[in-house]
């Protein structure tokens, strides 16, 4: 039977098709509805507001926001938590503000030795490097150790040999030189030398150093839309460190931990305490085995376990539901977070 209204039929069919296409396009562009989140830190310590000019504080906050937004963009686009973590940490590593990558502190011998680690919550695969001197972005090499080697932790010249075989360019150690870090080294050595005049004990001399010389790290934790957690940490270590000292940042379970059954943690603080008390894995164990929230577990470890014994620092935590907690027991911690249900938050001082 011949259609009496061919024009109306054509218009109607076009409208139906266009509406279907529009509906499909809107559906394709919608978020999955599953939670996703990221938190970052740029180190905890004696961060006194009086020592910042308005311009300096604004610059630090802007860099933290840049890093968390970069990582969040990966998650929002449906990317993996591992990619979000490395993306955010790269922003912090490339900044002279933080003790990692470009902003790494000096060793006693006026060099820079960098550490990093990363962990995948899906299967607890992990990669770490320690004591490298010529790697611009240590977190990227740590991830390569995880994905392209049979090991978890590589150190020193061996790690850099592996890096060359994986196509990494080695850079001059002076790339990490910054005036403010060199001034901090000179101050630390003066304090050490003054103490050594009255004692032959390196340990006793080192214990008198204020806490700001013993910490400083960057890190990120993330939950992606597939429900996978990841954590990463990168650092230049401790100012005036000697003898190849390695802190908690490249130690899985101390400075970094992620498990889809509990949470993801990146730590910052006095590394020796975080190693001895397995801080990152302890928090996740309390979540998994004692059914505690990340807020409760994190506060217990940071305030009840570490603080009484002089373990200064903090952690960032994200769980499988996209909840975020960032406890610390110092005057401040450079930190930021964002999730599918929370706008960007940036903090530096305790009352932020």
Cα distance between residue 118 and residue 304, in whole Å: 27
Question: What sign does the dihedral 337-338-341-345 (CA atoms) show?
Answer: positive
Residues 6+ apart with CB under 8 A from 162: 141, 144, 145, 149, 154
Query: Taking a C-beta distance cutoff of 8 angstroms, is the pair 240, 52 a contact?
Result: no
Residues 6+ apart with CB under 8 A from 171: 134, 135, 136
Query: Which of 147, 103, 83, 130 lies closest to 255 in space, CA to CA?
Result: 130
- Among residues 86, 87, 107, 217, the one annotated as catalytic is 217
Query: Looking at residue 302, what DSSP letter applies?
Result: I
Query: Which of 217, 255, 204 lies closest to 92 in space, CA to CA?
Result: 217
Query: Which of 333, 338, 337, 269 lies closest to 301 in space, CA to CA?
Result: 269
Query: Which of 144, 111, 113 lies closest to 126 in space, CA to CA?
Result: 144
Distance of CA 188 to the CA centre of its chain: 26
Cα distance between residue 7 and residue 47, in whole Å: 73
> What are the beta bridge partners of residue 144?
none
Question: What sign does the dihedral 117-255-81-74 (CA atoms) show?
Answer: negative
Residues 6+ apart with CB under 8 A from 72: 38, 84, 338, 344
Question: What sign does the dihedral 259-38-277-249 (CA atoms) show?
Answer: positive
Query: Taking a C-beta distance cutoff of 8 angstroms, is the pair 265, 258 a contact?
Result: yes
The yes-or-no answer on residue 217 being catalytic is yes
Active site positions, annotated = 217
């Amino acid at each position: 039977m011949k259609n009496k209204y061919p024009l109306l039929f054509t218009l109607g069919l076009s409208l139906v098709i266009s509406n279907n296409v529009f509906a499909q396009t809107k559906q394709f562009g919608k978020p999955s509805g599953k939670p996703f989140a990221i938190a970052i830190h740029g180190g905890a310590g004696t961060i006194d507001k009086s020592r910042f000019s308005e311009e300096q504080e604004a610059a630090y906050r802007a860099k933290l926001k840049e890093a968390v937004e970069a990582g969040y963009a990966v998650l929002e686009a449906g990317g993996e938590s591992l990619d979000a973590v490395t993306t955010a940490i790269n922003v912090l590593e490339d900044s002279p503000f933080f003790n990692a990558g470009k902003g790494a502190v000096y060793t006693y011998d006026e060099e820079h030795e960098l550490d990093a680690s990363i962990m995948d919550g899906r299967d607890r695969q992990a990669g770490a490097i320690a004591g490298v001197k010529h790697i611009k972005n240590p977190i990227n090499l740590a991830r390569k150790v995880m994905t392209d080697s049979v090991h978890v932790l590589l150190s020193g010249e061996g790690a850099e040999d592996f890096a060359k075989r994986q196509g990494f360019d080695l850079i001059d150690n002076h790339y990490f030189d910054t005036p403010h870090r060199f001034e901090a080294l000179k101050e630390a050595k003066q304090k050490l030398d003054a103490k050594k005049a009255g004692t032959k004990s390196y340990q006793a001399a080192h214990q008198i150093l204020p806490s700001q010389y013993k910490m400083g790290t960057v890190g990120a934790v993330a939950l992606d839309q597939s429900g996978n957690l990841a954590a990463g940490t990168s650092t230049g270590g401790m100012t005036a460190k000697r003898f190849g000292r390695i802190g908690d940042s490249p130690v899985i379970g101390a400075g970094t931990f992620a498990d889809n059954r509990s949470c993801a943690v990146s730590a910052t603080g006095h590394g020796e305490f975080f190693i001895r008390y397995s801080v990152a894995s302890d928090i996740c164990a309390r979540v998994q085995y004692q059914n505690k929230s990340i807020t409760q577990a994190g506060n217990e470890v940071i305030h009840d376990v570490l603080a009484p014994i002089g373990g200064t620092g903090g952690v960032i935590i994200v769980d499988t539901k996209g909840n975020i907690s960032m406890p610390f027991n110092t005057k401040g911690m450079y930190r930021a977070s964002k999730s599918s249900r929370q706008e960007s938050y940036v903090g530096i001082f305790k009352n932020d």
